[in-house]
């Protein structure tokens, strides 16, 4: 195998030669205690044989930079919400280029596979840093990156993480607060919330802004319904609230998909969204524009620019100041 | 400047030092006859000084591969159609990974800037090959890549190009044929087409399938309206056709955005899409699923897999067989 080829040996190649999964190779490198001695030796032999250089390359890249930022992409979803992350991907590419950085994409089936990809991409393609999305409680990826001292920033809050790291997020509660205040000013007395089942940090954040605004205004009726995301969920939730004791005249929704379902249910009952009922979605997806749906827009271009600012500071060996950015969304009013 | 840093000198840095645009640097490298002698010497001095190596690096990369595919991303658009290319981007990333390749993104204001980016990315980051989208008549990018012998494949037909190269596209006419045949079987006698103004290869392709199917069926009435894309355009087009001499009972549309507008206009006239009128969009965007809109779906995952197959053949010094792939779309029937 030629020298030029050796440096390109990938985690895939090592896994194939050792007849183990990519995850096992990653474990041998990063968590050797998880792997049997026999497997460990077989994998190390393949690493040696193929010239795979995970740690050395990663170290090397931190001193001589490739200017490449890795970003995991998810499979295109069924609903509308994936487009927010696609918008982010476009903005991150543009922001990175302003500072001579480029974005490289990768896929991963789950967080474990994502960590295996970090090891692989730093070693073989020379990715310098990562931007993470979909942060969640007990996020192993953050611990992994911190332990391996790989530069990263997240679009998404720590949600309880003990590690201190640079993050950027959008203040969802501020968004639903804007929406709820707007509806109160328009004279609505019963404002419902259509959200997701408990357990999602993003969902609880969006619900909190609606609830605290009604609290402050001294509004006692707070009808809400939690359903899985999607127009059908939104329709079911709206029907439940409209058939309840305190039918809302306005709805704040945790997503545009839910809001589309609410609009559909209102129309089927002969009500005209925008005239005798109000509906506000979240994320200002392209579909909201096409359908005339009012929505809360995340400042995605600013999120991307902040991520790049944070990463550049980390790559220069500095601590970003401030270490985190919680950006305000804005309310986009349309027909509904 | 350290050796490690020299290899990372970018076209941006050269442009800054020579006090010219990126395009001028690209011209000095690729079309020196377009540049004044004085400018040319200043740019060459900056190239020398910064150690920028456009041609050498590009040549080198063709022999020792980085396994990186470059893809231009467009700013997120207002409408729904951008999501098709975002879906493609996801699929291309996944297909490339199956063969140990990765996708790197870049932005460009226009085709000239895209060509400057080709030179820059092959020289500095070591991109191996490119996938082009938005092919059009007299596409300079294709000539440029062919002249510089850089491996590429396109998602989009040559549209009149004289250069023979590997391309993948979706047969739009086959899609609108499927839709029109379905509507004829459902008993519709007057089937309208809502499309874009002439001049777009994609638009003419989609119109052709509707027209040829009506021709074959011996249907004389072929009402059609051409408008700019978007729901408002679709609404205006539907109104025009419904107020015409032969109001359609069914509509084939060149995009989902147009179809959403047609549905809106029908509803405002008290007609129920799916019951007493039919509407079929194009591209099967997430919004179509959310709204229950029937649509024609492009096989994006297959397009991406074919692009990667073509590129791998070219990178291996072979001619892809076949050199081009025209893939059939499928009809996704929902409520409308």
Domains and CATH numbers, chain A: 3-54 (1.10.260.40), 68-169+300-326 (3.40.50.2300), 172-297 (3.40.50.2300)
Least confident of A310-324, B14-28, B178-192, B308-322: B14-28
The nearest CA of chain A is from the CA of B42 a distance in Å of 22
Alpha-carbon distance of A262 to A273, in angstroms, equals 9
Alpha-carbon distance of A305 to A325, in angstroms, equals 11
The nearest CA of chain A is from the CA of B273 a distance in Å of 13
Which of A78, A82, A93 shows the shortest C-beta gap to B73? A93
The pLDDT score that the predictor gives to residue B81 is 64
What DSSP designation does B9 have?
-
Span B93-99, mean pLDDT? 92
Span B229-239, mean pLDDT? 93
Flag if B64 and A94 touch (Cβ within 8 Å): no
The pLDDT score that the predictor gives to residue A2 is 34
Question: Across all residues in chain B, what is the average pLDDT?
Answer: 87
The pLDDT score that the predictor gives to residue A251 is 98
Which chain B residues are closer than 8 Å to A90 by Cβ? 73-76, 107
Identify the closest residue of chain B to A80 by CA–CA distance: B286
Which chain A residues are closer than 8 Å to B335 by Cβ? none
CB contact set of A334 (below 8 Å; sequence gap of 6+) = A288, A289, A292, A293, A294, A295
- In this structure, the dihedral spanned by the alpha carbons of residues B53, B56, B57 and B60, taken in order and rounded to 10 degrees, is -160
Alpha-carbon distance of A243 to B2, in angstroms, equals 72
Flag if B287 and A289 touch (Cβ within 8 Å): no
Is the pLDDT reported for residue B52 higher than 80?
no
Is the pLDDT reported for residue B293 higher than 90?
yes
The pLDDT score that the predictor gives to residue B65 is 64
Identify the closest residue of chain B to A6 by CA–CA distance: B64
Residues of chain A with pLDDT under 50: 1-8, 55-63
Flag if A79 and B286 touch (Cβ within 8 Å): yes
Tell me if B186 sits within 8 A of B217, measured CB to CB: no
Is the pLDDT reported for residue B33 higher than 80?
no
Flag if A291 and B74 touch (Cβ within 8 Å): no
Greatest alpha-carbon pair distance for chain B in Å reads: 76
Tell me if A69 sits within 8 A of A311, measured CB to CB: yes
For chains A and B, what is the number of CB pairs under 8 angstroms?
A: 138
Residue reference for tokens 């509509």: B251
Flag if B106 and A93 touch (Cβ within 8 Å): yes
Span B231-240, mean pLDDT? 95
The pLDDT score that the predictor gives to residue B74 is 84
The 3-state DSSP class for residue B30 equals helix
Flag if A73 and B83 touch (Cβ within 8 Å): no
pLDDT-derived band at B63 (thresholds 50, 70, 90) equals: very low
pLDDT-derived band at B80 (thresholds 50, 70, 90) equals: low
Counting Cβ atoms within 10 Å, is residue B137 exposed (0-12), middle (13-18) or buried (19+)?
exposed
CB atoms within 10 A of CB A95: 23
Span B143-162, mean pLDDT? 88
Span B287-302, mean pLDDT? 91
How does pLDDT run across B300-315, given as a tens digit for each residue? 999 999 999 999 999 8
Alpha-carbon distance of B238 to B309, in angstroms, equals 42
| Parallel/antiparallel/unpaired status of strands A330-332 and A294-297 | antiparallel
* CA A223 to chain CA centroid, nearest Å: 28
The nearest CA of chain B is from the CA of A212 a distance in Å of 30
Alpha-carbon distance of A219 to A67, in angstroms, equals 52
The nearest CA of chain B is from the CA of A162 a distance in Å of 32
The pLDDT score that the predictor gives to residue A83 is 79
Flag if A286 and B5 touch (Cβ within 8 Å): no
Tell me if A180 sits within 8 A of A214, measured CB to CB: yes
The nearest CA of chain B is from the CA of A96 a distance in Å of 9
Please, what is the end-to-end C-alpha distance for chain B in angstroms? Answer: 64
Tell me if B251 sits within 8 A of B206, measured CB to CB: no
The pLDDT score that the predictor gives to residue A7 is 39
Span B106-124, mean pLDDT? 89
What DSSP designation does A148 have?
T
Which of B64, B73, B83 shows the shortest C-beta gap to A286? B83
Flag if A231 and B87 touch (Cβ within 8 Å): no
Structure tokens, A282: 């979240």
pLDDT-derived band at B275 (thresholds 50, 70, 90) equals: confident
Is the pLDDT reported for residue B56 higher than 70?
no
């Amino acid at each position: 195998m030629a020298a030029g080829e050796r440096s390109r040996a990938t985690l895939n190649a090592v896994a194939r030669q050792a007849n183990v999964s990519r995850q096992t190779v990653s474990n041998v490198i990063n968590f050797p205690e998880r792997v049997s001695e026999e497997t460990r030796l077989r994998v190390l032999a393949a690493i040696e044989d193929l010239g795979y250089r995970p740690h050395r390359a990663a170290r090397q890249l931190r001193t001589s930079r490739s200017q490449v930022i890795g970003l995991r992409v998810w499979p295109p979803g069924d609903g509308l919400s994936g487009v927010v992350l696609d918008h982010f991907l476009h903005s991150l590419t543009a922001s990175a280029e302003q500072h001579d950085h480029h974005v490289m994409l990768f896929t991963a089936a789950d967080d474990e596979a994502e960590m295996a990809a970090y090891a692989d991409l730093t070693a073989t393609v020379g990715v310098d840093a990562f931007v993470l999305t979909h942060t969640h409680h007990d996020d192993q990826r953050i611990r992994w990156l911190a332990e391996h001292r790989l530069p990263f920033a997240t679009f998404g809050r720590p949600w309880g993480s003990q590690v201190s790291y640079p993050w950027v997020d959008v203040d969802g509660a501020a968004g639903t607060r804007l929406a709820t205040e707007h509806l109160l000013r328009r004279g609505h007395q019963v404002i419902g919330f259509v959200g997701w089942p408990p357990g999602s940090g993003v969902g609880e954040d969006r619900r909190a802004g609606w609830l605290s605004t009604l609290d402050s205004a001294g509004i006692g009726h707070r009808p809400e319904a939690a359903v899985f995301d999607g127009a059908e969920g939104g329709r079911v939730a709206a029907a439940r609230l409209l058939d309840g004791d305190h039918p809302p005249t306005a709805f704040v929704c945790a997503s545009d998909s839910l809001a589309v379902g609410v609009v559909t249910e209102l129309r089927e009952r002969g009500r005209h969204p925008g005239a005798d009922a109000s509906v506000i979605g979240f994320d200002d997806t392209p579909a909201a524009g096409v359908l005339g749906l009012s929505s809360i827009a995340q400042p995605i271009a600013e999120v991307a620019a902040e991520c790049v600012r944070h990463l550049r500071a980390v790559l220069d060996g500095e601590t970003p100041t401030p270490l985190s950015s919680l950006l305000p969304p804005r309310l986009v009013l349309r027909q509904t």
